[in-house]
Amino acid sequence: MSETSAPADEIRYGFIGVGMMGQEHIRNVEALPGATVVAIADPESASLNAAQKLVGDKVSSYLSTAEMVAKESLDAVVISSPNFTHRSVLEPLWETSLHLLIEKPLCTTVPDCLQVQAAAQQHAGIVWVGLEYRYMPPVQRFLQELGVSHAGTDLPAKSSTGQVRMLSIREHRYPFLHKVGHWNRFSVNTGGTLVEKCCHFFDLMRVAIPSAPISVMASGGQDVNHLDEQYPEGTPDILDNAFVIVDFENGARACLDLSMFAEGSAFEQELVAVGDLGKVEVKIPGFMELSRGRQAEIIVGSRATGWPVTSAQIGSEESVRYLGAHHGASYLEHVDFCKAIRNGTEPLVTVTDGLWSVALGAAAQRSLTERRCVTLAEMGLA
């Protein structure tokens, strides 16, 4: 990527795909100092009309991405169209020097991710992948206790755990929401639940454990959700629960515990790391529990302090002007994205990060289908 920078004034955003997640990004940008929403594009008129009501008449709307890019003076574009469209949506954007933020997952398959990675390496603008769970304040605090950086920033001074030997991530939450054209009900469109939903967690595994993943073993199924839904394409085929184990080159291992029929959970995500010096865990409430006043909790026990267990609540980051559904993570992500644009620096969450998160999810999908351990080398990565 050649280094480019924008003027110090407003960063002008365009949006491609303005359904649920696109509108979430719009709300973040509208709350962000030094940024403005200029144009939106979506071939689905219902999504476009809903987004237009959100931004008002001052923002131009287009059914065609090509028309938006041709007519508008933009600095950055957010791609939040359905997963399976990302590669094709990006094709004309490679011919520009626009800065790009691509919603997760980067693509639905490893070959598509590799193609995007190759194109991004030649692109004049920043290419950033929206793995915003790194930016959730409770997750940032968890990673600080591990002594690792969430996005390429300076490393914390100490680690409460020492070298992480075991990492466990649990997400117990509600089923998939309805989206335009029910596209997220079918694995062919999403890449499968372990790509669509869990790429965030595979990304966090790679951040927390500074080593290369080498193999994946998974078990899962569709046991509760969407079984009584019928569409022209048939019955939804997306997983609603799974266990996934990832082994790393340095001997560490990580486990994902996913249930998408656990709406009654007090904490939507729980992360636990155990190392040779201590243990850290963080418990993160979902949006509804957060709105009822429940806060995230962090619990630390370390040999370095003689093993007394300490705990604390984690409130909202004061600088966040729009909390949204992920504790202000998307807002903080846009802050760093804009900073990189202004400074002409490299993205902190890269296409390579996006590729690995998809590869781990795809390997997990293959593992549970074929009932065997799958190596990352089989997925085209080593």
Give residue 2's pLDDT: 33
> Beta-carbon neighbour count of residue 188 at 10 Å?
11
Residue 156 has pLDDT above 90, yes or no: no
Over residues 284-299, the mean pLDDT reads 89
Q: 167 and 217 in one domain?
A: yes
Whether residue 326 lies inside any domain: the answer is: no
Give residue 10's pLDDT: 92
Over residues 348-363, the mean pLDDT reads 98
Residue 152 has pLDDT above 70, yes or no: no
CATH number of the CATH domain containing 218: 3.30.360.10
- Least-confidence region, from 61-70, 144-153, 229-238: 144-153
Encode pLDDT of 245-260 as tens digits: 999 999 999 999 999 9
Q: 186 and 115 in one domain?
A: no
Over residues 227-234, the mean pLDDT reads 95
Give residue 6's pLDDT: 42
Whether residue 96 lies inside any domain: the answer is: yes
List phi, psi (to 5°) of 236.
-55, 145
CB 189 within 8 A of CB 183: yes
**Burial annotation 308-317 (CB, 10 A radius, 16+ → b, else e):** eeeeeebeeb
Whether residue 280 lies inside any domain: the answer is: yes
Contacts of 154 (CB under 8 A, 6+ apart): none
Give residue 315's pLDDT: 84
Encode pLDDT of 302-332 as tens digits: 877 777 788 999 888 888 888 887 889 999 9
Distance CA(146)–CA(380), nearest Å, equals 30
Q: What percent of the chain has pLDDT over 90?
A: 84
State the residue range of the domain holding 140: 134-319+357-379
Residue 3 has pLDDT above 60, yes or no: no
The total number of structural domains in the chain stands at: 2
Give residue 133's pLDDT: 96
Whether residue 328 lies inside any domain: the answer is: no
Give residue 309's pLDDT: 84
Q: 54 and 139 in one domain?
A: no
Whether residue 1 lies inside any domain: the answer is: no
Give residue 153's pLDDT: 56
Q: Which residue type, as a one-letter code, is found at position 232? A: P
User: Which is more confident, 152 or 113?
Assistant: 113
Q: How confident is the model at residue 373 (pLDDT cuts 50, 70, 90)?
A: very high
Whether residue 324 lies inside any domain: the answer is: no
Q: 229 and 205 in one domain?
A: yes
Q: 121 and 198 in one domain?
A: no
Q: How confident is the model at residue 290 (pLDDT cuts 50, 70, 90)?
A: confident
Q: 160 and 63 in one domain?
A: no
Longest Cα separation, the chain: 64
Averaged pLDDT of the chain: 93
Q: 181 and 91 in one domain?
A: no
Q: How confident is the model at residue 293 (pLDDT cuts 50, 70, 90)?
A: confident
User: Which is more confident, 308 or 19?
Assistant: 19
Q: 41 and 97 in one domain?
A: yes
Whether residue 49 lies inside any domain: the answer is: yes
Residue 9 has pLDDT above 90, yes or no: no
Q: 364 and 344 in one domain?
A: no
Structure tokens at 155: 């490393």
Encode pLDDT of 49-93 as tens digits: 999 999 999 999 999 999 999 999 999 999 999 999 999 999 999
Q: How confident is the model at residue 4 (pLDDT cuts 50, 70, 90)?
A: very low
Residue 227 has pLDDT above 70, yes or no: yes
Distance CA(55)–CA(27), nearest Å, equals 9
Q: 281 and 189 in one domain?
A: yes
CATH number of the CATH domain containing 345: 3.40.50.720
Q: 310 and 186 in one domain?
A: yes
Per the document, the length of the chain is 382
CB 174 within 8 A of CB 259: no
Q: 138 and 277 in one domain?
A: yes
Whether residue 345 lies inside any domain: the answer is: yes
Give, in degrees to the nearest 5, the angle at Cα 318 between 317 and 321.
95
Q: How far is CA 225 from the centre of its chain?
A: 23
